[in-house]
């Protein structure tokens, strides 16, 4: 029985689980950034697009997307994809502040740093050519 190999494999699985969590977290955070940008820019983007369309087509698109006929309406609800994630501060208002995007980008960068460190850890757990693993 190779106890070192068993222990390395267990640590490798734990690190890979943590890495998967961080990757999922980054994806969730990026989705949140996209949602915030959409909320902040929706009225302007819609107005520009609808101005270039036939009014009937614009009404059809509004119906499909669930928007009110007045494209200047603000988004009523903001779903929080942070639910279940640790160590994150939720926005206090229903609508995120403009600086929320900057904060989220910082959290994403922190997550990416953790991912890189976990990837290096997993690689370091692999046995070396001259020995049977780290510290041998």
For residue 40, is it within any domain? yes
Taking a C-beta distance cutoff of 8 angstroms, is the pair 110, 104 a contact?
Answer: no
Residue 34 in any domain: the answer is: yes
Q: How confident is the model at residue 97 (pLDDT cuts 50, 70, 90)?
A: low
The total domain count for the chain is 1
Task: Output the pTM of the full model.
Answer: 0.58
Has residue 121 been placed in a domain? Answer: yes
Query: What pLDDT score does 83 carry?
Result: 54
In a domain, 104, yes or no: yes
Domain of 7 in residue numbering reads as 3-76+90-125
Residue 17 lies in a domain: yes
Provide mean pLDDT across the span 2-30.
95
- Tell which residue, 67, 72, 73, 84, has the closest CA to residue 28: 84
Whether residue 32 has pLDDT greater than 90: yes
Predicted pLDDT of residue 90: 53
In a domain, 97, yes or no: yes
CA distances from 28 to 33, 85, 108 (A): 9, 10, 9
Using the predicted structure, report yes or no on whether residue 86 has a pLDDT greater than 70.
Answer: no
Q: Is residue 133 included in any domain, yes or no?
A: no
């Amino acid at each position: 029985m190779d106890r070192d190999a068993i222990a390395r494999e267990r640590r490798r699985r734990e690190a890979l689980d943590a890495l998967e969590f961080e990757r999922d977290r980054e994806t969730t955070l990026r989705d949140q950034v996209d949602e915030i940008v959409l909320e902040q820019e929706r009225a302007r983007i819609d107005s520009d697009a609808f101005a270039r369309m036939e009014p009937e087509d614009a009404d059809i698109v509004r119906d499909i997307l669930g928007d009110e006929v007045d494209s200047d309406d603000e988004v009523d609800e903001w779903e929080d994809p942070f639910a279940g994630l640790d160590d994150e501060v939720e926005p206090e208002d229903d609508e995120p502040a403009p600086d929320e995007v900057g904060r989220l980008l910082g959290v994403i960068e922190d997550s990416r740093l953790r991912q890189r460190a976990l990837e290096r850890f997993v690689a370091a757990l692999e046995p070396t050519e001259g020995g049977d693993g780290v510290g041998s």
